[in-house]
Amino acid sequence: MNNKKPLSVGIWGNTDKEKFWELLNPIIKWAEKNSLETFITTRIREKLKTEISDKVKIIRSAEDFLHIDFLIAMGGDGTILSASRAVGDRGIPIIGIHLGRLGFMADITIDDMFQRLDQVALGNFSIQKRMVLKAVIATRDDKKIYYCLNDFVIDRGKYHRILSMRLSSNNFHIADYNSDGLIISTPTGSTAYSLSAGGPIVLPKLNAIVVTPISPHTLSLRPLVLSDDSVLNISFPESKTSDIAIAVDGQVADYLHADSNIEIKKAKYSINMIEFKDSNYFNTLRSKMGWGN
């Protein structure tokens, strides 16, 4: 449970939230009190409304994350997702503090924020590795690579008809889907869009891939949970549209033609999330999603 005491901290936040600005200086002062070198993003620096300590350093490039022992992500789940994209494969532990109503991934509240940060400063925390998915999209012209912590969503985009997709795993045909789309999610993402579409809840510490159809045209096509060594292949043999959309963690990344091919598999790296001895995933489900009530 005890980790090496950190020497530096980075601050990542939703700068559109007033609460973030109210808490920024108190967190910087907390870091100074605990002899932690403090880094903030260029976006925070550009939007600063008050003076801060001149000892605070700026994260100017992705490589600057390598100087940070842990990252405080202040906002909601979207803030953690953006922080994870910025950290990438650098392994920087992230602690999420939610400033809004839900904050399922960012499960630390403002009320217990400094208590939890004090634990981190002492090294009293553990790391939970969150699985990441990698998508390689082969189009007419080139190949593009995307990574997600939550999910990839392939849907009909601007196309108003049912989308036809063929799914295989490790070269074995699984099914042909006629639906509004497919959600390919990690265990972390199983409580996001996948859950809304009828998918299962998968504990985030597990390594698995969840496939959930969106409004399938037949009742026999149900969500699937596949092993983490699965290499999924998605093609569109019966579709003729050029408006197929792929979204990465809720952000539309590209529009594809029907002759595109998508390969999705487990990435070689994980996102490190900070947790504590008394962290309780089921309590989070009950309190924030009404699970079991």
Active site (catalytic) residues: 77
- Among 149, 79, 70, which residue's Cα sits nearest to residue 107? 79
CA angle 271–15–279, rounded 5-degree value: 40
Q: What is d(CA 78, CA 97) in angstroms, rounded to the nearest whole number?
A: 12
**DSSP track, 156-202:** -TT--SPEEEEEEETTEEEEEEEESEEEEE-TGGGGTHHHHTTPPP-
Structure-token pair, residue 197 = 């579409």
Helix 113-121 crosses helix 18-33 at what angle (to 10 degrees)?
30
CA angle 26–30–33, rounded 5-degree value: 140
